[in-house]
Chain A
Amino acid sequence: MRVVTTLFVTWLCLLVLLGISVTSVVMLSLPWSLVAVAACALSMILLILVLFMDLKHSRGLTRVYATGATLWLAFLITLTLADYLTR
């Protein structure tokens, strides 16, 4: 029962984050809207990974693998962007 409650709370948090990101695009200007959208997207992804995909209760090896996959994606985008942003 506790797990089910956690899942419902997670879903509500996800909807609130979605609302914040959409509102920030409509209400805020750069760079704050970008910061809000990025923060909300990262928080939503983290919630889905940890609670919906149950990384919280997974073995260490699975968690290391999932973290590694996310990190390499971050490296790919950050290093590519570093070139264009510093020209």
Chain B
Amino acid sequence: MPTATKTRKPLGDQGPVAEQFETMGQQRDANRLGMWMFLGTELLLFGGLFGAFVTYRVIHAEGFAEAAGHLDLTLGALNTALLLTSGLTMALTEQMSRAARPKATFWLLVATIAIGALFIVIKGHEWYKEYQEQLMPVLGLPFSYPGEQPEQAELFFNFYFVMTGLHALHMLVGLGVLGVIATVAWRWRNPPRIARQVQISGLYWAFVDVIWVIVFSLLYLSRV
């Protein structure tokens, strides 16, 4: 792995400008705005789901609160802390890549991937527990709820698996993207391009954090 090089401008602002842009600043702003537009469409996808959940939460207040009490709050909170920590390591990766520090960039990316993977493992463990307790009303699996309002609980757990499943899918996509960027960062052949790739993927990873904060608040913390 090459050593760090000393530069004046942030690394992401260097390198050749693509032919459709006049300046690197314009290219960088277009990159960011393009990613934000993509994240806006993602917000529409999750927004419909959140809107539907909140509506049913108001209609079936008691049943949903009781069902939420069957989720593991400790594991949910632990996963939230892990994801927030991975948000920190990703933001630090961005700073290190802009400062042209290849080793720090690579290892922070590895840390982000490791924490993200741990999140998925814990989530998988939670799902397995719910499968064992027959609280997984998907794919024709038997649903056996010990509470007073099983129909409302079934609706709650449908929301739970769709929301957490969709979020986990986004996590897996993010982990794949970060894996590719970590490989590229290890070689460190086109540093300005790597710095821009890290910046754009960092936006996606932080967005996944934001979505999880909402999912956690709606599902795990709506137990009262």
Contact = CB atoms under 8 A, between A and B. Distances in A.
Interface string A40-59: 11001100110111100011
B73 A25 contact: yes
Interface residues of B, number: 42
A11 B213 contact: no
Contacts of B202: 52-53
A65 B43 contact: no
A40 B224 CA distance: 16
A63 to B, nearest CB: 9
A70 to B, nearest CB: 8
B213 A65 contact: no
B206 A48 contact: yes
A22 B214 contact: no
Given A29-B224, A41-B214, A53-B206, A7 B36 contact: no
B152 to A, nearest CB: 15
A18 B54 contact: no
Interface string B182-208: 000000000000000000001100110
B195 to A, nearest CB: 13
A22 B73 contact: yes
Assign chain A's interface to a size class: 35 or more
Contacts of A41: 213-214, 217
User: Chain B: interface secondary structure?
Assistant: helix
Nearest to B88: A11
A30 B92 CA distance: 38
A53 B91 CA distance: 8
Contacts of A38: 217
B171 interface: no
Contacts of B149: none
Interface stretch (B14-22, B77-85, B127-135): B77-85
Contacts of A62: 29, 32-33, 36
A8 B88 contact: yes
Nearest to A70: B43
Contacts of B158: none
B50 interface: yes
B209 interface: yes
Most buried by B among A3, A25, A70, A85: A25
Interface of B: 29, 32-33, 36-37, 39-40, 43, 47-48, 50-51, 54-55, 58-59, 73, 77, 80-81, 84-85, 87-88, 90-92, 94-95, 202-203, 206-207, 209-210, 213-214, 217, 221-224
Given A22-B77, A72-B47, 16 more contacts: A7-B95, A8-B88, A14-B84, A14-B87, A18-B77, A18-B84, A25-B73, A29-B224, A52-B88, A52-B202, A53-B202, A62-B36, A65-B37, A68-B40, A69-B43, A70-B43
